Amino acid sequence: MTDTLASPTPPTITVIIVAYNSGDFLQPCVDALATQSFTDFEAVIVDNASTDGAVDSLTLPDDRFRIDRPGENLGFAGGNNRAARASHARWIALLNPDTRVAPNWLEALLDGARRWPDCPAFGSTQLRLDEADILDGAGDVWYAGGVAWRALEGRPLSDNPPEGETFAPCGAAAFYDRARFLELGGFDERFFCYCEDVDYGFRVRLTGQTCIQLTDAIVYHAGSGTTGRHSEFTLFHGHRNRIWVFFKNTPAALLPVLTPLHLAINMYLYLRADAERRSYLKRAYAAAWEGLGAVMSQRKALRRIRTGSLASLMRAMIWSPVLVTRRGAKLTRTGERTSSRD
């Protein structure tokens, strides 16, 4: 009789770090993750064809960590999708390479998932890597006219809102139900990088589910530490993709009303930019228009999965232009009214 080895039990969490020329950020990110109080996880570093040697010189702390080399740059969206498909864990935790996590980060995420059993997506409290008393973001916010931002970025930690609903978790340190993530299609790989987290949050909401922002899950974030906050890459992908998010996800009942506002916002952003940034925006707007047909064709599939009400989706959005200029937050807590913080 031949003995067969039992299949190893999969870890509870797969942490995914998508790395591309991450430089000096990557090793401290991995080292901080290795000190987690919750230990039943695996960590996959997806190397998006880096050329700076950061992945090659990386010291892996133990056998929970491994490097995946797809051999090409799949972008943030494609890299995370690849690792999510290969995982057998109950949860996936996304982590930017320009972050360092608090020792109880994974424990706090799991604790939140136990308290919110019907929620498939959770966000972390992000603090600035070099200013730990300043918020880097408290979840992603969506303005109905087509602008996204990290809530309360740049505000003191004392302004961090209580645990509750956010429009979408920021992908720099998000926590997703893996099966649900894949069922809803994961990240849209057409986006490549930026706004794919908001786009996924939209899908969660279209199905009638919510996203929860957790105050005790702490991550220190450099914020575009790899790509550069005002680089051509960041501005091009950020502006192109938010246009796609708007036209892909805005319900048909709202699209005729909000499209003129969306176009006016884009014109305003273009006119207030300097000459160099205008050239980036021209490219972004041209690329958004070129890909708009493919984006609009996805609306039919989204209508098929939509089970949430239009009213609940509208309540989750920001409608005040004042909050756009102040990077405000939309706070929704169970059993309470929706309120806004500027």
Identify whether 41 is part of a domain.
yes
Per-residue pLDDT at 339: 40
Identify whether 328 is part of a domain.
no
The Cα–Cα gap between 125 and 216 comes to 7
Identify whether 71 is part of a domain.
yes
Does residue 338 have a pLDDT over 70?
no
Identify whether 185 is part of a domain.
yes
Per-residue pLDDT at 231: 84
Identify whether 254 is part of a domain.
no
Q: Is 300 helix (H, G, I), strand (E, B) or coil?
A: helix
Host domain of residue 131: 13-221
Query: Looking at the whole model, is its pTM more than 0.85?
Result: yes
Per-residue pLDDT at 1: 41
Per-residue pLDDT at 331: 52
- According to DSSP, the β-strands at 41-47 and 13-19 are parallel
Mean pLDDT to the nearest integer, 321-334 = 64
Q: What is the pLDDT of residues 20-61, one digit of tens each?
A: 999 999 999 999 999 999 999 999 999 999 999 999 999 999
Identify whether 78 is part of a domain.
yes
Residue 54: Cβ-neighbour burial (10 angstroms; 0-12, 13-18, 19+): buried
Q: Which alpha helices (H) appear in the chain, and where do they start and end? A: 26-33, 75-86, 105-115, 178-183, 196-206, 232-249, 255-272, 275-290, 292-297, 299-305, 310-316, 321-325
Per-residue pLDDT at 227: 53
Q: What is the pLDDT of residues 106-141, one digit of tens each?
A: 999 999 999 999 999 999 999 999 999 999 999 999
Identify whether 322 is part of a domain.
no
| CATH code of 136's domain | 3.90.550.10
Per-residue pLDDT at 224: 55
Identify whether 325 is part of a domain.
no
Give the number of domains in the chain.
1
